[in-house]
Amino acid sequence: MKFIKVASHTDIVKIDKERKIILFFKKGTSNSDCAYRNIEKITDGEIFIVDVNTVKDIHSQYGVNSVPSLVVVKNDSVQNVVKGCQTESYYDQIINEKTVSISYSSTEKQQKRVTVYSTPTCTYCNKIKQYFNKHGIKYTDINVAANQQAAIEMAQRSGQRGVPQTDINGQIIVGFDVQKLSKLLNIPTE
């Protein structure tokens, strides 16, 4: 992993890249140090690091109100925010845009179609995606904060505008309801 230490917002803006990853952390705190260590283990990728102990003017520009937060920016628009300390493999998926793939034997059923409607700053949206990643569930993530048409369609289908909402083969689950999700996706309850 290549870390680019940031002292001001200008450091991020001057790098001309379509997609930028920024880690906001507070050095010396357990969650932030955990996130930093797990990201450090990833061999591929480049990431801006902002230590909020010393840099105070950047986090509000990206809507960050807690650390650690990993922010994905594409074309100067926030696409995703992952809060807290995550596993190395989860960070690798986000940073390097890897998808989870599952192979099935001929006796196994194929996984149902799963779509998560979320926003970058929604804590439960991040938890539901972590839950799916932990259990190897493939899903499509639609950021309704950046996709107005998807937000309209989501609200029309469920009658609600809150996120997360999960579409599992046409059945809508509003919120992070582990029991319903586990039942529909055949995930053993913990």
Sign of CA dihedral 132, 133, 137, 138: positive
- 2-95: which CATH architecture? 3-Layer(aba) Sandwich (3.40)
pLDDT value for 63: 82
Kindly write down the DSSP assignment for every residue of the chain, as one continuous string. -EEEE-SSHHHHHTS--SEEEEEEE-TTSHHHHHHHHHHHT--S-EEEEEETTT--SSGGGGT--SSSEEEEEETTEEEEEEES---HHHHHHHHTT--------TTSPPPPPEEEEE-TT-HHHHHHHHHHHHTT---EEEETTT-HHHHHHHHHHHS---S-EEEETTEEEES--HHHHHHHHTPPP-
pLDDT of 34-63, one tens digit each?
999 999 999 888 999 999 999 988 888 888
Q: Are 139 and 116 in contact (CB under 8 A)?
A: yes
pLDDT value for 106: 47
CATH code for the structural domain at 114-185? 3.40.30.10
Question: How do the domains of the chain map onto residue ranges?
Answer: 2-95, 114-185
Longest Cα separation, the chain? 56
pLDDT of 99-127, one tens digit each?
655 555 544 557 788 999 999 899 999 99
Model confidence, pTM: 0.58
pLDDT value for 98: 72
Q: Residue 164 to residues 64, 80, 122, 125, 141: CA-CA distances in angstroms? A: 19, 13, 8, 5, 10
Fold agreement between 2-95 and 114-185: yes
